[in-house]
């Protein structure tokens, strides 16, 4: 007979902040927006504010009454769907659906042949794209490296997008130089859907935009925001405060400030064109007080990001979080520890996009091997997230009785069915000592390197159709021409 | 009076901003040689701070409080220093080049230099090459500190150095460059005088360069 009054927890359940604490942070953020305000270095934005209930003083200091803030923040869609260029990969950005992906724009790369650190180039981005296209646990792609071997740095973003598209068919998050850059990227992406309106139904990328903490919004960031609002391009306004330097040294204070910055952007886009798909975010970390490094391996980064995710879920906005990254200069034990713990925490928090997977050297250096290592880590983490099924088949009472004291389960049909749901490592070694010696005493690092080589040798993504390829190149050529004047 | 020197050094160590400023003024009023205040009070105190920082006994927030105290003392001392002493604690212009909005590293490096006794003029972020050259002409600093965090704005550092040459003032100022994507090789390529991978090395290099 089925029972009544049962609560079944199908997955682990995790949160950092209680609802009351979220309300405290939200309420404090409203006060910041209403009393302290934020600066906007952009004419149109200031006009939009002046023509609303907001108050502009001191040239560019904007304060907004909380009634307007609360109206604006409710206007963003609760979910965003993204589709890769071929339609094969689709992801949903909504509460508690966790997608993992890379970060962007790393100036350096370890050359896989010479082992030397050198500047990242176009081909490095194509290779990172191919790796991400292959890896089963990476769901979206940011450029990983920054393309530097281009004629004009002012249009690097178009070339970079091209390199990304070449190597990867998964949905993307894109950085860009300015509003003009975003426009080109959006035009390029629209080609895969056959039109602007069609593109809106199936966007391929999210734009990455950042305020300057504390509470400043520069011209190019605002340009991108306004263009995104106009065209309904999904976009994240993701503060990068360093606790203790550009934000309070307390996690709560940093969260209050970050939320104010995001909600200010919400108000601006509401005034421009309500309803822009907005993703909350923040690389909310600490400035290491010995080295002055903006830390990508600090536990505070994970703690604050998970708390931020609690806030985002309460507000009904998707969340851009951080994991899989490290301050270590190489792919060593430190890298593995920091990657694993940050991925796990971000996963449990239920953030929509967990980015920066594969960053080493505090966001300065790129490692393809790190992507491969993290794929395995994320596989394990997703397994731990599956929770425990307690239906009859799973309690296995009948089976236990049938096998009885002293029996064995290896040959039972139940085992044959259910062991397939376990995590099977692709790279971790579980063999016995003798076998390990016979097979060459390989370390995890050796196996990661071999797997990276294999993917680069074997995996080719579906090519871009010739006609679209030409049109993409035309957009890039036109940008080059405009900027060479 | 020498007791007050000890108190200055101790005040610096403990980041007592007001106290260090006041004690410096008192010593000036007492008629002590400004050079002695600088060497035996301020530099002596900051040497200990530097050592404790290197040994991880002091952290950045403490070091910057000490630097602020140093700054407060130098405000009082600079007007009465001899020309020779004041060039040892000369002027530095710190600026982030055009197109670049990153300033945390530049600000930190600037504060550390204040801690070493320099008079730091902060030109802020995203500053045009012409403006930087104008400022160098106007303020005649011993050191120009350029910061760039983007591969796309790094070339602007070379542009500034070339513009200094064109203006005929390249030999009047030493240029230090810094920022995450900058390397020693790059600094040499563009003809900078020094590369600073972090704020403390930046300060060390600045001190070396003014010593000549
Ligand atoms: C004598 O003179 C001297 C001496 C020493 C000097 C010196 C001058 N200058 C520096 N030093 C040296 O001493 C300092 C202290 O020890 C050190 O300074 P640092 O500045 O290196 O160190 C600081 C104390 C801590 N470090 C930092 O503060 C920088 C951290 C990272 C994460 C970073 C941050 C925080 C920010 N960012 Co930016 N940002 C990144 C950075 C990644 C990284 N690890 O560097 C980097 C630099 N950013 C990048 C990007 C892509 C961008 N950022 C952007 C914006 C921002 C924020 C505004 C959000 C914020 C800066 C806030 C601020 N007030 O500065 C955008 C560009 C805006 C612009 N036009 O400038 C944007 C383009 C993103 C976008 N598309 O919108 C990447 C570089 C890409 C490239 N082209 O090279 C990046 C490496 C991160 C990444 N991997 O994506 C030394 O370098």
**ipTM of the complex as predicted:** 0.94
Checking if the pLDDT of B86 tops 80, the result is: no
| Residue A375 neighbours by CB under 8 Å, 6+ apart | A135, A136, A137, A138
Closest in A108, A153, A364 to B152, CB measured: A153
**Looking at the structure, do residues B191 and B142 belong to the same domain, yes or no?**
yes
Q: Which residues of A touch B180 (CB under 8 A)?
A: 107, 364
Residue range B150-201, pLDDT digits in tens: 999 999 999 999 999 999 999 999 999 999 999 999 999 999 999 999 999 9
Phi and psi torsions of B205, nearest 5°: -65, -40
Q: Is the CB of B106 under 6 A from ligand 1?
A: yes
Helices (H) and strands (E) in chain A, counts: 18, 19
| Look-up of token digits 């204070």 | A253
Give the model's pLDDT for residue B83: 77
Q: Is the CB of A157 under 6 A from ligand 1?
A: no
**Looking at the structure, do residues B61 and B129 belong to the same domain, yes or no?**
no
CA distances (Å), origin A298, targets A211, A282, A285, A293: 22, 14, 7, 10
Question: Buried (b) or exposed (e) across A447-458, using 16+ Cβ within 10 A?
Answer: bbbebbeebeee
Alpha-carbon span A469 to A144, nearest angstrom = 22
Give the model's pLDDT for residue B84: 74
Residue B181's closest chain A neighbor by CA?
A: A107
Q: Which of A239, A292, A301 to mutate to test the pocket of ligand 1 (most atoms within 8 A of CB)?
A: A292
Strands (E), A359-399: 359-360, 365-366
**Which residues of chain A approach chain B closer than 8 Å at the C-beta?**
107-108, 119, 146, 148, 153-154, 156, 177, 212, 218, 242, 244-246, 287, 289-292, 294, 364
Closest in A156, A212, A289 to B152, CB measured: A156
**Looking at the structure, do residues B107 and B175 belong to the same domain, yes or no?**
yes
Whole-prediction pTM? 0.96
Alpha-carbon span B93 to A152, nearest angstrom = 29
CA distances (Å), origin A110, targets A202, A364, A370: 36, 11, 11
**Looking at the structure, do residues B157 and B203 belong to the same domain, yes or no?**
yes
Q: Where in chain A is the domain with CATH 3.20.20.480?
A: 12-387+423-485
Give the model's pLDDT for residue A3: 87
Q: Which residues pair with B96 in a beta bridge?
A: B147
Mean pLDDT by 10 residues, chain A (485 residues): 88 96 98 98 98 98 97 97 98 97 97 93 98 98 97 95 98 97 98 94 98 97 98 97 97 98 98 97 95 97 98 98 98 97 98 98 97 98 95 97 97 97 96 97 97 98 98 98 88
- Which residue range is the domain that position B121 belongs to? 90-211
Q: Which of residues B42, B71, B86 is at a domain's end?
A: B86
CA distances (Å), origin A54, targets A44, A66, A218, A261, A369: 14, 10, 19, 15, 49
Query: Nearest CA to A332 among A296, A303, A361?
Result: A361
Residue range B119-151, pLDDT digits in tens: 999 999 999 999 999 999 999 999 999 999 999
Q: Which of residues B86, B118, B141 is at a domain's end?
A: B86
B155 to chain A, closest Cα gap in Å: 10
Considering its fold, how many domains does chain B have in total?
2
Closest in B56, B60, B101 to A292, CB measured: B60
**Looking at the structure, do residues B33 and B61 belong to the same domain, yes or no?**
yes
**Looking at the structure, do residues B125 and B69 belong to the same domain, yes or no?**
no
For every residue of A163-220, DSSP letters joined together read HHHHH--S-EEE--SSHHHHHHHHHHHHTTTTSHHHHHHS--EEEEE--BTTTEE-HH
**Looking at the structure, do residues B194 and B109 belong to the same domain, yes or no?**
yes
**Packing angle between helix A66-73 and helix A251-272, nearest 10 degrees?**
80
CB B123 within 8 A of CB B95: yes
Alpha-carbon span B153 to B133, nearest angstrom = 17
**Looking at the structure, do residues B116 and B197 belong to the same domain, yes or no?**
yes
Domain A12-387+423-485 has CATH 3.20.20.480: yes
The answer to whether the CB atoms of A245 and B104 lie below 8 A apart is yes
CA-nearest residue for atom 26, ligand 1, is: A294
CATH of residue B23's domain is 1.10.1240.10
């Amino acid at each position: 007979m089925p029972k009544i009054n049962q609560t079944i927890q199908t997955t682990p359940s995790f949160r950092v902040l209680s609802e009351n604490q979220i309300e405290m942070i939200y309420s404090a953020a409203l006060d910041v927006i209403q009393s302290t305000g934020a600066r906007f270095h952009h004419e149109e934005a200031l006009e939009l504010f002046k023509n609303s209930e907001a108050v502009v003083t001191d040239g560019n200091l904007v304060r907004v009454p909380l009634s307007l803030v609360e109206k604006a923040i409710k206007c963003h869609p609760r979910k965003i769907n993204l589709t890769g260029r071929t339609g094969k990969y689709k992801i949903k950005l909504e509460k508690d659906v966790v997608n993992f992906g890379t970060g962007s724009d790393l100036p350096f790369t370890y050359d896989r042949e010479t082992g030397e650190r050198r500047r990242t180039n176009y081909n490095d981005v194509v290779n990172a794209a191919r790796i991400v296209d292959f890896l089963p646990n990476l769901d979206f792609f940011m450029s990983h490296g920054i393309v530097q071997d281009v004629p004009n740095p002012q249009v690097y973003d178009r070339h970079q997008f091209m390199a990304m598209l070449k190597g990867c068919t998964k949905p993307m998050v894109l950085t860009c130089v300015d509003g003009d850059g975003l426009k080109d990227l959006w035009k390029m992406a629209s080609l895969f859907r056959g039109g602007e309106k069609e593109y809106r139904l199936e966007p391929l990328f999210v734009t990455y935009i950042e305020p300057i903490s504390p509470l400043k919004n520069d011209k190019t960031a605002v340009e991108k925001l306004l263009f995104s609002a106009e065209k309904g391009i999904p976009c994240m306004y993701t503060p990068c405060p360093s606790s203790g330097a550009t934000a309070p040294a307390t996690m709560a204070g940093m969260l209050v400030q970050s939320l104010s910055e995001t909600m200010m952007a919400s108000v601006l886009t509401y005034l421009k064109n309500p309803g822009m798909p907005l993703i909350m975010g923040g690389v909310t970390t600490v400035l290491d007080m010995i080295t002055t490094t903006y830390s990508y391996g600090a536990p505070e980064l994970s703690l604050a990001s998970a708390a931020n995710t609690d806030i985002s879920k309460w507000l009904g906005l998707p969340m851009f979080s951080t994991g899989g990254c490290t301050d270590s200069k190489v792919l060593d034990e430190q890298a593995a520890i920091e990657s694993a713990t940050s991925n796990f925490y971000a996963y449990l928090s239920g953030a929509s996009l967990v980015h920066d997977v594969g960053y080493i050297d505090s966001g300065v250096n790129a490692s393809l091997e790190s992507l491969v290592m993290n794929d395995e880590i994320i596989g394990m983490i997703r397994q731990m997230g599956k929770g425990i099924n307690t239906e009859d088949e799973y309690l296995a009472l009948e089976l236990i009785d049938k096998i009885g004291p002293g029996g064995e389960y290896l040959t039972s049909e139940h085992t044959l069915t259910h062991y397939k749901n376990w995590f099977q490592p692709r790279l971790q070694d579980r063999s016995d000592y003798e076998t390990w010696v016979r097979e060459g005493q390989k370390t995890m690092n050796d196996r990661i390197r071999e797997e990276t080589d294999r993917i680069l040798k074997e995996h080719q993504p579906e090519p871009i159709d010739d006609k679209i390829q030409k049109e993409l190149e035309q957009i890039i050529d036109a940008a080059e021409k405009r900027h060479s004047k | 009076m020498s007791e007050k020197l000890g108190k200055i050094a101790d005040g610096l160590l403990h980041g007592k901003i007001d106290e260090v400023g006041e004690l410096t003024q008192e010593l000036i009023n007492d008629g002590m040689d400004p050079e002695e205040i600088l060497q035996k009070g301020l530099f002596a105190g900051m040497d200990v701070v530097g050592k404790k920082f290197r040994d991880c006994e002091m952290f950045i927030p403490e070091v910057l409080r000490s630097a602020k105290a140093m700054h407060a003392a130098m405000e009082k001392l600079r007007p009465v220093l001899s020309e020779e002493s004041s060039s040892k604690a000369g002027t530095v212009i710190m600026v982030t080049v055009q197109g670049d909005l990153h300033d945390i590293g530049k600000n930190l490096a600037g504060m550390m230099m204040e801690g070493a006794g320099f008079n730091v003029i902060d030109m802020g972020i995203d500053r045009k090459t012409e403006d930087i050259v104008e400022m160098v002409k106007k303020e005649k600093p011993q050191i120009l500190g350029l910061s760039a965090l983007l591969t796309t704005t790094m070339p602007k550092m070379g542009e500034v150095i070339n513009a200094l040459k064109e203006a005929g003032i390249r030999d009047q100022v030493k240029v230090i460059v810094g920022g995450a994507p900058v390397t020693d090789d790059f600094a040499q390529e563009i003809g900078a005088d020094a590369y600073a991978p972090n704020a403390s090395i930046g300060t060390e290099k600045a001190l070396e360069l003014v010593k000549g």
